[in-house]
Structure 1
């Protein structure tokens, strides 16, 4: 038996059990004196037990029908029709089925009450002096006292004699009993359906969150897979430019590139890395680019030592540095400077990459490096991190990343 079934049966037993205890509390506790007048406590408890078992059986049948027909997938308009039909059918089944089972046992409380009322009816008949009179015949007595006595017997006990003189019982409680059963089944149905609707919505929301998480993870992996080939391509171009001019420096550059690739492969497996490790990759990359640009590339770093342990997205800072060289320094005849700054601003870590040059008309926004930075920050920090790139004066561009401080 699965956890769901165990939970279901536990709720069934507890629910019907509490209903039974409420009945016992009022009948044998609050209204004990009235109940004691006609007795039958043993019959009452057995009949109540039969009713509770019948209730569990009937509602279990209803639950089986609900599951087999997938009513929980119906629209709200359609579920109302099903709700009414189900309540009517199950309520009547519980009332007549429970009564049939109870009346076929020697411990029927209804029979006990009926027999008790019959004794009262016979006694009232005798007290009125009607037991020796055929008042039920076609020629009944006409005096008002006798007529009132006959009416009171039927009204107070539900028993009366038919035209053949046979005692008959008219139970006015049948209609009330049906209403009570319909109300009880309606309450059960509402609790069951509402619980499963809420549970279904919760599971759907959980599935959506898992799907969104999977999509974001896939998007991050896709972004990373684009970053590494882009970085490798530019690095190999730098090395290629050195092969003919200075083979020794080219061999050194290949060694540095292998170090960078090793670091980037490790970074690919992690969502974040320390700023220290990210700066190591940036320094290796700048060493390669310096071999290519020589005196045209000047590097300045202003790093707060307390920021080195902060977690940042891997290869992000390297992407911004690469972008500053590709779109800034490489386009200037005299080259320029790349300045890297890391500092705390309130509760945020601020990373700046500044380079000599000017933004073009589209703010370099079409480049994959810029787009990947924007996308990664949105996916990883859910709007809590920000990225912007702008001209800070007539000859300097600044890329700024602001992200929450990691604890």
Structure 2
């Protein structure tokens, strides 16, 4: 139903109920219900015209936009003027209807004030209802606009965060490939393919909110293969991936960023190098990702831009139920844990993976 129809229904119903009640009150003291109903009908038409024109004034001059300190005096003056008008319409009407039943002088100051106050009450109630409806309508619109703005900001932030790639990795990877071109051209060619895969994933990251864990792991494997060229035996990789986690959706480039930080702040610093361990498993209805690496957690900025924004990215996509924490697991091991809630898993997807997990145990590669 349109706002105009609702407005007119409320106008007709509200004033009909009010004036019918007034007519019944008069008839309980005086005879002649038909006369009072006729007077009520006349008042019904007049008061609707008056309040409807008052509504036009409110809309034309933007009273609903004014502060409460500015609008209250205007309302009081307008309600007073309308009450005076309706009083001077009804005093001669009541004088005619009560000419044989009432000896009181309705034109006395006491009765004039009484008429004005009697009409001020319903008109003030009408005004309060009108402003209340506009207040809740505007509040609803503000909430909708706020939600739209927040959604837009969240989407923009998410795109920016998804598109991050450390430029140092690019320089290091290109230098490593350059060193391989003459000595091991086949290996260099494979490295170029792996680097192009990573770049493609990075470029597509701003177009997709999530990717499957299996796709993300392929990017991580390409990244680790390139880093393996640089660090050789100094970098040891361990993986423990449960099959039932492979279809779960994760933020693109999330694991790559964490693995990159693990190598940068852990493996690259010790002379003997270190290890990076990646484990994924289901814990209830949550995906748990555990990344461990050789190193000591720094007290200041331990992860750079990507690590600082990991928790923020997860919250943008999965809400407050998602979690990210990084801690010193042992004397020389740093562990990062990611928890991603799974809203719903289709039964047909659960059954095959659960069967696979019962038959095939996860393999650990070192």
Change (3 A) 1:357 1:50: same
From 47, 50, 66, the equivalent of 2:42 is 50
2:32 counterpart residue number:
39
Cα offset, 1:261, TM superposition: 3.0
The match for 2:152 is: 214
Matches of 1:307 and 1:321 in 2, distance apart?
18
**Structure 1 residue 25: Cα displacement:** 5.9
Match of 1:269 in 2: 207
Per the TM alignment, residue 24 of structure 1 is displaced from its structure 2 partner at its CA by 5.6
More displaced stretch, 395-404 vs 2-11 = 2-11
SS at match of 2:78: helix
- Asked if the contact 2:163–2:203 (Cα under 8 Å) also holds between the matched residues in 1, the reply is no
Q: Which moved more, 1:82-91 or 1:221-230?
A: 221-230
**Whole-Å separation in 2 of the counterparts to 1:380 and 1:194:** 37
- Tell me what 2:292 maps to: 354
CA contact (8 A) 2:180 2:188 kept: yes
Q: Which moved more, 1:171-180 or 1:186-195?
A: 171-180
- RMSD, aligned α-carbons: 3.0
Q: Residue 20 of structure 2 contacts residue 40 of structure 2 at CA under 8 Å; is this kept in 1? A: no
1:340 matched to which residue of 2?
Answer: 278
Task: Verify the 8 A CA contact 1:354 1:396 in the aligned structure 2.
Answer: yes
Deviations 1:154-177 (A, max 9, x none): xx5348xxxxxxxx9879754433
Q: TM-score, normalised by structure 2?
A: 0.82
**Number of the residue aligned with 1:152:** none
Are residues 1:364 and 2:310 paired? no
Alpha-carbon distance in structure 1 between the residues aligned to 2:265 and 2:234: 14
Note the alpha carbon deviations across 1:253-287, whole angstroms, 9 max, x for none. 11222233333433431222222221121122222
For 1:391, the equivalent position in structure 2 comes to 328
Quote the residue 2:115 is aligned against: 177
Q: Which of the pair has more CA radius of gyration? A: 1
**2:11 is equivalent to residue 12 of structure 1:** yes
Match of 1:157 among 78, 103, 106: 103
- The alpha-carbon deviation at position 298 of structure 1 amounts to 1.9
Answer yes or no: is the 8 Å Cα contact 2:20–2:37 preserved in 1: no
Whether 1:400 and 2:346 are equivalent positions in the alignment is no
2:96 counterpart of 1:111: yes
Matched, 1:296 2:234: yes
Farther-moved stretch of structure 1 (262-271 vs 61-70): 262-271
Partner SS, residue 268 of structure 1: coil
The whole-number CA distance in structure 2 between the counterparts of 1:316 and 1:217 is: 16
| Secondary structure of 1:226 counterpart | coil
Find 1:257's aligned residue among 167, 185, 195: 195
Given that 2:282 and 2:288 are in contact with CA atoms closer than 8 Å, whether structure 1 keeps it comes out as: yes
The aligned length equals: 344
d(CA) in 2 for partners of 1:170 and 1:69? Answer: 36
Tell whether 2:32 aligns with 1:86.
no
